[in-house]
Structure 1
């Protein structure tokens, strides 16, 4: 253990951080960092006489000379111990003093710090002056077996008198020897080194202890800075998402206007062509009739007899007069001209549509650690203008199948007074699988923190993952060996900023400390192996009881506060959610319908016909306007807050996937659009 201590001392204290070698004439700066004197010479600023510590960047005023930096007795004594142990050849110190050269040493006196040969070691132990000295073998000393004892017996000597430093001058605040006390420090306040150290030790211990709070505060601040940096990255991703969404919407609107104008132009051109063709047909008949009249009349004049000419004169004259009197309609010349609002043919956007605003919030660091979505983001994106939609825009088909799973269908605006969404676009897709776990993941539950982190329950690997919206996994929580048998998380919610999940017929919550056991909140009614849960704000957690067609409501402490059970209803409640009016939107997978149930248990609406069969509802969610989004197979169906079918907004055609959908509801940011999170996993 002594050798290990010696190695540790060499590693941490006796290596210069500039040259990475053992100290050569070490000097200690005011920041307590030590470096070789030759290394500090290279860093000395000749103009100011200062040295900037390369470790902490603190400036030390050395009055123009590195020799003014403090020489540390502590480091020098450790260096003496190190050098005495690492010397390749060691000779007897007494023999050298007597003029005998190169006599190998076999022992070391820890009191005198002298190396001794065999003969001198025997005499050293018999002398009256050195009878009590501790003489050890050189082999044991070099092996580090006596490092602690050697350190205790080390003495520092006065550089002026070469006597041991045994006193401390309070007046000069410096250690002195016996000769110094009798000469230069005779009239000063002097006490022994032991007394001085004993008197000053409590103050030093108090100072060192006070650093704990400083270290804790600085560590916390460092964490806050890291959190702020991460928040900035998330804000950057969020604003880029918003930009992509807005630009996609503008592009879709432009293409919609292009389609409308193109259709209007085609109709106009077709109508004009028909008119022109009608006129052309009439003119063609008139030309043909005129040619026939002319040819017939010419034949009569050339070959007819006089009485035949006279007989046909009236008919020929009448036909020619009729042809000459026919009023040929004028061609209506209407030229289509494209006009661009606020621009010319060479169109350009003169107004800045997007602008960045940088909020100067003094408490941005604190906000970034609390997950407050209102003030944590310093960068805000504002859309100054939008492209207006033409009233003649053609309606976009309600159902479009896409080959890519992340393609959403633009939908027309409904002018019925409801706050129905007008546009859907992909923001980001990312993989949340973890190569560390051998089983193919099976996502069975998704929830959302107020800070926009996504919580995912992986039933196959018995883990719960917390993922930031950029796709980076912030935390992985294993549900194995946490005070219970291996728990298989199924459904999960966030209530009161705490993660709750179901495993079997029990409800658990995850404690703040990762070292604590999971807390069982309560046992759930029935004997189902899977229970879906949802949270109403921070008031209670609702649990679906399957074929019991009942929702039980529990506080975060596990107290039952009510049940929602429609009378005489038979079915199977699976996935469900709660809207802002405390109404429960429930998927009845047995009867293939969606129910809207009041807090009192009254069925307010049943939706089973969505105009695009088959309808097999599973996962459901609502937005801030209480619009309902239902997952049916590989499609997402939009229902109004009253439960009526509106449209199909996504149709995914890939095989062997299972979809989950949740919705980010920006309650405190009404201008920010709600955001879908669509999670796709392989079917086990």
Structure 2
């Protein structure tokens, strides 16, 4: 029966999470939470067809034992604490012995030894039996001040389920089971047994050691929670900064737009006023001429109608000369010609509905406290899985076998091929289906930045948007260079003059931002391919020094990588180069038909032989953000791989 419980500061420790009342016969679950035995039975029998039920406190899945609820172990420790708690705080609790006799008497006593609550009569009789004569019975009123808590706990005994009334005082080491004296004499004869006091010491120590390890986890979770709080602060601050940045940028743009609006409308009005003034002057000229014509005609009419014969004869010659002069005059030249002004939206996107001033992007796995083992965000590459081979020579469209000199992923389901042999920039689906030709140029390099396709030939950098609304050509220095090109930090194109080993940076409108000159002592001599990583580092493969070189955006060398020639093994020839979204570096080894994989620091990870995949002399490569790698080789074919990570 439920007892009326007085308020207590620790009451939550003894409340069943299912019934929200003080625990009765608490049963320990594998998750170390406890339920009343009756509550456990209810949870167990609900959804009886399922093999698990959920702990009401932590929502863990608890497997149902085959032998039912009785296979769960009683929580003897918590039961002892609850017994002490009830002795101090409960009112109107019923006598345990009277309950068995169907009587309804309230308890005023408690046996500290067996834990039973007793009325006065049952309490007086409790110590009169052989089994309970040593039990200690106390008044509930004397237990409520808490001074007897320790004494109550020491007097509590756990009785054996098999031998009712026998206290459990021993431990069978062979069976790992607490037992009573009768159990030892009957079922555990010959087993290694010891007293509970002797057996508990080593187990307490083992549990204490495990607790230390778990407490370390708790501390780690605390630090992670602090990290999450710091991350939330960072998120809030970043959001505030970005909002302020957008607001400032928009205000600046609006101010600039208003300024340009004022200036352009002022210029428009001046232009129109000038042309209106010209019209007014021309009209005045026409009026003057018309008056002259009208005056001459009036005079001539008067002579013809009213002049004397001799007067007409005298005036005939000058009149005829004047009229002939008036007839021959080209009055059509006096028609007004004006220049209709036009105001064009001078923007890289050409139309208002494609301004695209802002992009919302996420950094690659930003973390306030990155894990150390894989350094700055990398994941190890373990291999490549060939998905498909794609023929990039288009039947009935191409005159020659495709020679890919540039690759790039466009959208999620298309990629672009720069075909030097057929002088085309072509788009294919990921399934390998040709869709269209973007441009007819002879590409020496190709890169995609946002939605802009950048293509270089030996003279120029060409820019196209993915819907071909923009076509722009930027002249480059005529040196015969192949001009490798790459996207840098998703906002610029970087173009290499491999004759002078210098780097030019252009924005998406084709405006020169600045140039980068390798620092003194750099091994960059003839950079033939280029890429960049998420940190804005420039990575080149150089054929004269036979190196892969990583440098920062100021031209300072960070790392150089080179495979040395060994006995019976030719030196490599680094070709096309690209980075995945973890900043791992992929280099095509043109001479040995291999793909070399370097970690973000430029250290060797492993190599893959492409001849096994029917691809000889890999030339161009590109990756997307989803672990896909495209590699071109001889014969106009591409291999598409899935990159395998750990």
TM-score (norm 2): 0.48
Q: Which has the higher contact order (CA 8 A, sep 6+)?
A: 2
TM-score (norm 1): 0.45
